[in-house]
A and B are shown apart, each in its own frame.
Chain A
C-alpha cells in the first residue's frame, strides 16, 4: 500500500468526486440510495454545501449556507468547473432523522446528530445508551460506506467516463 501522507494528498480528489456524484445521485438516481440502505426514506442536502474550483493554480472556495442550501448557486459553481468538497446531509429512516457533515478530503463525519436516545440517569444506564448510540452512528457509516463502495466500483471501470460522467455533465448543464 502507498505511503499514507502521499495517498492522502494524491487521491483526495476521489472524495470530492464522490460528493459531487452523491449530489447527482440524490437528485437523479434515488434507486442507488435505496440499494445502499433498505430502510432509507430520504437523503437530502441540509444547510451547507462547500465547493472548490481549482483554476490556474489558485483555489477558489465557495460556501453556500442556509436551509435548503442554495442548489442553484451550487450548480452554477459546478458549471464553472467546481467540485463538492463538503456536504451537510439529512438522512431519514422510519420516523427518525440524522444530520451530519461529510468532508470529501478525508471522509470525516462531523456534527453528527442522531435521533434521541434514552437518558443516562444511573451508571447502569450508560451501557444501554452507549449501545443504542453506536447502533445509530453505524447507520450513517454503513450508508456512507455502501455509497462510497458503489462510487468506487463505477470509478475504476470504463462506465465512469462513458456513462456516469456524461450523465453528470448533462445534469450540470440542465
Chain B
C-alpha cells in the first residue's frame, strides 16, 4: 500500500534525533549501503532493504532523488520466497526415495532426512522468484516524525530494525502511552501522574 493509493494505513513514529551532519549524505549512505539485494538467483528465502519510491524495482538514490519538498520519501522492500508446502513435500519424497535406492538401505537417519529437506528447500529457492512487498515512508527530519504506510506488525518490526541499522537512529512508535508522553506537551509532574493512571469505569 503506497502513499498515493486511494486508501492507506499509516503507523506514525517519532525519530529520536537526526543523523549527523551532513544529513543528506548520511541518509544517502544509509540507503545505498542497505538497499534491497535481489535474491532470485540465491537460496535465501527472505531479504529486506531500501528502495526508491518512484522506481521500487530498480533502487536509485542518486541526485537526492529521495528528497521531495521538505520530506525524505523512500520505500522499504521486503522480498520473500514462499514455496508451497506441498511442493516441498513432493520433492522431499522424490529425493528420499532416490537416496534410499542409492544407499540400498530401508531407512535414513534423522540427520540425513533433515539434510535432504534443507537441500530440497535450497534447490527450490533457487527456482522460485521472491515476491516483493513495498512499503512507502515519509520522513520529516525538521519535525522528527516518520509515517510508515502499513500497520502490519511484521513490516513495522522490519522497519524499526532496518532504520536503526541504516541510520543509527531509533524510531519510537506512537501509541497511547508514547503519544501522551512525547507529543502532548505534558509537564514533568503530569508525566509522573500519567505513569500512575489506571482504567476508568464509565458505569456505576
**Physical interaction between A and B:** yes
Question: What chain A residues lie within 8 Å of B173 (beta carbons)?
Answer: 4, 8, 106
Contact between B138 and A134 (Cβ–Cβ < 8 Å)? yes
Query: B111 interface residue, CB < 8 Å from A?
Result: no
Q: Which residue of chain B has the shortest Cβ distance to A140 in the bound complex?
A: B10
**Which of these, B4, B174, B193, B197, contacts A133 with CB under 8 Å?**
B4
Contact with A79, one of B147, B186, B199, B203 (Cβ below 8 angstroms): B203
Of residues 80 to 132 in A, which have CB atoms within 8 Å of B's CB atoms? 80-81, 83, 104-113, 120, 123, 126-127, 129-131
Size range of the chain A interface in the assembly: 35 or more
Let me know if B175 and A81 touch, CB within 8 A.
no
Q: Is the CB of B200 within 8 A of A112?
A: no
**Contact A111 B7, CB 8 Å, known A2-B177, A15-B175, A130-B73:** yes
Let me know if A110 and B177 touch, CB within 8 A: no
Across the interface, do A145 and B68 meet the contact criterion of CB distance under 8 Å?
no
A156 close to B (CB within 8 Å): yes
Nearest CB of chain B from residue A74's CB, rounded to whole Å? 13
Q: Does A12 contact B (CB under 8 A)?
A: yes
A108 touches B11 (CB 8 A): yes
Residues of B at the A interface (CB closer than 8 Å) are: 3-4, 6-12, 54, 68-69, 71, 73, 138, 147, 151, 172-186, 190, 193-195, 197-204
Chain B residues within an 8 Å CB radius of A79:
203
- 3 closest A-B pairs (Cβ-Cβ)? A11-B177, A110-B9, A15-B176
Residues of A at the B interface (CB closer than 8 Å) are 1-2, 4, 7-8, 10-15, 17-18, 20, 78-81, 83, 104-113, 120, 123, 126-127, 129-131, 133-134, 137, 141, 145, 148-149, 152-153, 155-156, 160-161, 165, 168-169, 172
B203 touches A13 (CB 8 A): no
Q: A10-B177, A152-B194 are in contact. Are A108 and B184 (CB under 8 A)?
A: no
B176 touches A104 (CB 8 A): yes
Contact (Cβ within 8 A) B181 A1: yes
Contacting pair A156 B190 (CB below 8 A): yes
Q: Within the assembled complex, what's the spacing in Å between the Cα atoms of A10 and B179? A: 14
- Asked if A14 contacts B197 (CB within 8 A), the reply is yes
Say which residue of A8, A112, A131, A152 sits within 8 Å of B186 (CB atoms): A152
The reply to whether A109 and B10 contact each other, CB–CB distance below 8 Å, is: yes
Q: Which residue of B lies closest to A161 (CB)?
A: B200
Q: Report whether A7 and B197 are in contact in the complex, using a CB–CB cutoff of 8 Å.
A: no
Extra 6 A-B pairs, beta carbons < 8 Å, given A112-B9, A137-B8, A156-B193: A4-B173, A10-B177, A17-B199, A107-B179, A130-B68, A152-B184
In this complex, what residue of A is CB-closest to B175?
A106
User: Please, which residue of chain A has its CB at the minimum distance from the CB of B54?
Assistant: A126
**Is B203 a contact of A155 with CB atoms below 8 Å?**
no
A78 and B175 contact, Cβ closer than 8 Å, known pairs A108-B9, A112-B9:
no
